Amino acid sequence: MPFTRREFTKQSALTGAGIALTGTVAALATAPGALAAEDSRQGHDDESGHGHSDEPGYGPLVPDPKGILALPAGFSYRIITHSGVTKLDSGEYTPSNHDGTATFEGPRGVTLLVNNHELSGTRAGWEHPVPLAEGLVYDPIAAGGCTVVETRRDGHTAEWVGIAGTSTNCAGGASPWGTWLTCEETEDKAGKNGLLKDHGYVFEVDPYDKRANRDPRPIKAFGRYAHEAVVIDPKSGHAYLTEDAAGPNGLLYRWVPPHGFKHGRGKLRTLADDAGVLQATKCFDSSGQFVDDLSRATKIGTVYGVDWVDVVDRDAKTVSVRKQFGNQDVTRARKLEGMWWGDGGAYIVSSFARAESPVQHDGQVWFYDPKRRTLTLKVLLGVNADPSKDGAFDGPDNITVSPYGGLVIAEDGEGIQHLFGATESGRTYPIARNELNAGTAEKPEYSEFTGVTFSPDGKTLFANIQTPGIMLAITGPWKRQPNRY
pLDDT score at 44: 35
Long-range contacts of 460-465 (CB under 8 A, 24+ apart): 460/111, 461/408, 461/419, 461/431, 462/80, 462/101, 462/103, 462/113, 463/410, 463/419, 463/432, 464/98, 464/99, 464/101, 464/115, 465/68, 465/69, 465/98, 465/434, 465/436
Residues in the chain: 485
| Cα Rg of the chain, angstroms | 22
413 DSSP 8-state letter: S
For the whole prediction, is pTM greater than 0.75? yes
**CA 302 to chain centroid:** 21
Q: What angle do CA 117, 61, 347 make, to 5 degrees?
A: 50
Mean pLDDT by 10 residues, the chain (485 residues): 50 39 34 32 35 74 97 98 98 98 95 98 96 98 98 94 98 98 98 95 97 97 98 98 96 97 95 98 97 95 97 97 97 96 96 92 95 94 85 91 96 93 80 96 95 97 98 97 64
Taking the C-alpha atoms of residue 8 and residue 285, their distance in angstroms, rounded to an integer, is 9
Q: Half-sphere exposure (CA, 13 Å, Cβ side) for 349?
A: 31
pLDDT score at 481: 86
Domain limits, the chain:
5-37+58-475
CA neighbor of 416 nearest in space, from 400, 399, 432, 428: 432
CA neighbor of 409 nearest in space, from 428, 426, 424: 428
pLDDT score at 425: 59
pLDDT score at 41: 32
**CATH superfamily, domain at 5-37+58-475:** TolB, C-terminal domain (2.120.10.30)
